[in-house]
Every structure is written in C-alpha cells, then in structure tokens.
Amino acid sequence: MTARNTQIIANATEAFPRASRRQWIGLAVIALACLLYSLDATVLYLAVPQISAALKPTSSQLLWIVDIYGFLLAGSLIPMGVLGDRIGRRRLLLLGAAAFGLCSILAAFSTSAQMLIAARALLGIAAATLAPSTLSLIRNMFLNPQ
C-alpha cells in the first residue's frame, strides 16, 4: 500500500466516527421489525393445514389468505415510502409497528376465512409502512459506508 492510499484511508476514518452503542441498539430494533415483516410473508405456509381444518375456506379463499399479504405489501411500498418522507420515517415506523401488532392479533383471532383475508390485507399494508422506514433509517443512522 502506498503512502497516499494510507493517507486517504486515515482521512476517511477521521471523517466518519465509529457507531455508538445507541446506533447499534437502534439497528437491533430495526432488524427485528425487518424480521417480522419478512417472516410473516412465509410463515403462513406452515399453518395452511390447520387453517383449512379450522376455517374451512374454499380453494380460492385459501389462495387469497396466503397471497393477499404479498400483493398489498408490494403495492404499498412506494406510497408508504413517500408517506414516510412526508410525516417522518420514525413516526411511520412506530405507527406501522403498532398497526402490524394489532392486525396480527386480528388475524390470530379470525373466525372466518373472510376475516382472515381482511386481516392479512391490513397486515400487508402495515408491513409496507415498516419496510421503507427501516431501510431508510439504517441509511441515516450509519453515515460511514463501511
């Protein structure tokens, strides 16, 4: 390594301070939110036999139960990202986490296939509030690209 490269690396290290403990705790909280919304997209596949036995959905209702979450998550990502830019990413993350929790409870206590479809649809929209907020907050928390 040349002296010039060493100087560039030293200057870059001085320009970006090391991450604080608070930033690492924030990253852990954000990672938990990411885990929840990504896990919820696939965890229902394990419960399909129990859902079929308990709620007796038709085949098309069963497809909607599984797929509506991903459809509304994907369709709502950009509008929720814009909303996060307008009202604040942290505020949107907190609102989305509360909505995600409430919708999860609603889905867990669904008494019919239609109610579960509606709860999963709301879960998809709530997850769409979490995704852009978490990713942009990580970018804002850690200024050092390394």
List the domain range (segments joined by +) for residue 85. 33-140
Give ∠ CA 82-83-89 in degrees, rounded to 5: 100
Q: For the whole model, what pTM was predicted?
A: 0.80
Helices in 16-112 by DSSP H: which ranges? 21-42, 44-55, 59-87, 89-108
Number of domains the chain contains = 1
Q: What percent of the chain has pLDDT over 70?
A: 86
Low-confidence stretches of the chain (pLDDT beneath 50): none
25 domain residue, yes or no = no
Is 40 contained in some domain? Answer: yes
Encoded tokens for 81 = 């990202």
Tell me whether residue 28 is in a domain. no
Tell me whether residue 70 is in a domain.
Answer: yes
In this predicted structure, what is the pLDDT of residue 58?
Answer: 96
Is 116 part of any domain?
yes
Distance between CA atoms of 60 and 38, rounded to whole angstroms? 24
Q: What is the pLDDT of residues 119-144, one digit of tens each?
A: 999 999 999 999 898 888 888 787 76
